[in-house]
Amino acid sequence: MIIGIPKARAQDERRVVLPPRGVRSLTERGLEVMVERGAGQGAGFPDEQYEQAGARIVHGADELWGRAGLVAHVGPIDRQEYDLVQEEQVIMASLHLAVAEPELVALLQARRCTAIDFAMIQDDNGNLPVLRPLSQIAGRMVPQIAARYLQTDHGGLGILLGGSPGVPPAEVVVIGAGTVGRNAVRACVGCGARVTLLDTDFDRISEIDWTFPGQVTTFLATEAALRKVLGYADVVVGAVQVRGHRTPHLVTRDMVGLLRDRSLVIDISVDQGGCFETSRPTRLSDPTYVVDGITHYCVPNLPSLVARSATYAMANALLPYISALATLGVAGALEADRALARGVNLRNGRLVQGGLGAVRDHDDQGEPA
């Protein structure tokens, strides 16, 4: 099976699914890898490095999609790539089919594709081994995003994230104690901010309380608690994920109104629909918008800001799965690895994830997906 690595076509996406050293590990096992020209440029990997690693550089997306049995993609399939998808092709990407256009789901079904969302690969302990490193990066980027958009020149409140002698630091509220949330808490505490964390899992908030004694205020995530913390927050971070399903709107537009003018919302859950009712996806070159006086930062591919680091982190986790699919074939790889099997959204065009089926049913009824 030929492995194809296309150039990302989504606006402001600079990552590539594998760096040259990852490609080398595949070619040294006798696997054939095709890389579209310029695929690694945004992350600082020139074509020459891929050629030295044993890949073949192709000059067009048509050739790559037309010949590759396995296409390893960074993000969701872009609309301009729909016509490139081949019959019975295997696509591994961060697909987010639960919030994808119905047309894409129908296309993958009609062409009997096997679609694997690497963000949904899950081991027996419930861990998401490919999503985790990207979530860690996104969480750790929260302070640098917050610091910028709290500045007066970016329309913020003019608050120093870590404060100064005699001046209190910013109040950061994190909703969700998963990988993103825990890393956001760690990074914000390290920068001197005052941090509040909410989650529905008592064990998770107990872990944070133990890890950061006296440094993090924790609440069980009820509507009453959310309303309380929104009343004093300078920055609110949405870090909620429901595997395979659209993220629920935990913060309604009415609740957003509890925030004071020029405070900041960072919705890292926006790639799965967002946990703020007022969230909508933006892009890195135009990352913010204002609703009712509140700045919203809702970039789905936030780790692309550090494209080189994100590429290495993603490749470390993805490489064994790509190798297994190319070596053993789909049936063999899924049988050998239950974690990989849990990431399958469609198998030969058939929906195998309950959440995706539910979304499809809603679309057929004309309801919002």
Query: What CATH number should be reported for the domain holding residue 327?
Result: 3.40.50.720
Q: How confident is the model at residue 295 (pLDDT cuts 50, 70, 90)?
A: very high
Question: Does residue 243 sit in the same domain as residue 181?
Answer: yes
pLDDT in tens, 103-143: 999 999 999 999 999 989 999 998 999 999 999 999 999 99
Diameter over CA atoms, the chain: 65
pLDDT in tens, 344-364: 999 999 998 755 544 443 333
Is residue 126 included in any domain, yes or no? no
Question: Does residue 241 sit in the same domain as residue 140?
Answer: yes
Active site residues: 96, 271
pLDDT in tens, 38-67: 999 999 999 999 999 999 999 999 999 999
pLDDT score recorded for residue 244: 60
Question: Does residue 294 sit in the same domain as residue 177?
Answer: yes
The kind and range of the H/E element at 162 are none
Is residue 334 included in any domain, yes or no? yes
pLDDT score recorded for residue 354: 52
Secondary structure (3-state) at 154: helix
Average pLDDT of the chain is 92
Angle at Cα 294 formed by Cα 218 and Cα 172, nearest 5°?
Answer: 25
- CA–CA separation, 24 vs 51, rounded Å? 9
Which residue segment(s) compose the domain that 345 sits in?
3-121+307-364
| HSE-CB of 270 using CA atoms within 13 angstroms | 22
- CA–CA separation, 301 vs 137, rounded Å? 11
Last residue of one domain, picked from the residues 283, 300, 317? 300
pLDDT in tens, 229-283: 999 999 999 999 776 677 788 899 999 999 999 999 999 999 888 899 999 999 9
Q: Which residues contact 119 (CB under 8 A, 6 or more apart)?
A: 94, 95, 96, 128, 130, 131, 134, 343
Is residue 102 included in any domain, yes or no? yes
Last residue of one domain, picked from the residues 280, 300, 320? 300
- CA–CA separation, 102 vs 360, rounded Å? 7
Gap between the terminal Cα atoms of the chain:
34
Is residue 369 included in any domain, yes or no? no
**Mean per-residue pLDDT for 86-99?**
90
pLDDT score recorded for residue 100: 82
Question: Does residue 227 sit in the same domain as residue 265?
Answer: yes
Is residue 67 included in any domain, yes or no? yes
Q: Which residues contact 205 (CB under 8 A, 6 or more apart)?
A: 177, 197, 198, 199, 218, 219, 220
- CA–CA separation, 251 vs 15, rounded Å? 31
Q: 92-96, 152-156, 216-220, 353-357: which has the minimum mean pLDDT?
A: 353-357
Q: How confident is the model at residue 368 (pLDDT cuts 50, 70, 90)?
A: very low
The count of domains in the chain is: 2
Q: Which residues contact 120 (CB under 8 A, 6 or more apart)?
A: 128, 131, 243, 244, 342, 343, 345, 353
Question: Does residue 101 sit in the same domain as residue 224?
Answer: no
pLDDT in tens, 12-31: 999 999 999 999 999 999 99
- CA–CA separation, 29 vs 266, rounded Å? 42
How much is the CA Rg of the chain, to the nearest whole Å?
21
pLDDT score recorded for residue 81: 93
pLDDT score recorded for residue 353: 72
The side-by-side arrangement of strands in the sheet containing 3-5 is 56-58, 33-36, 3-5, 70-72, 90-93, 114-117, 344-347, 350-351
- Cα–Cα nearest to 109, from 342, 330, 348: 348
- Cα–Cα nearest to 190, from 218, 168, 217, 161: 161
Percent of the chain with pLDDT over 70: 95
Question: Does residue 348 sit in the same domain as residue 287?
Answer: no
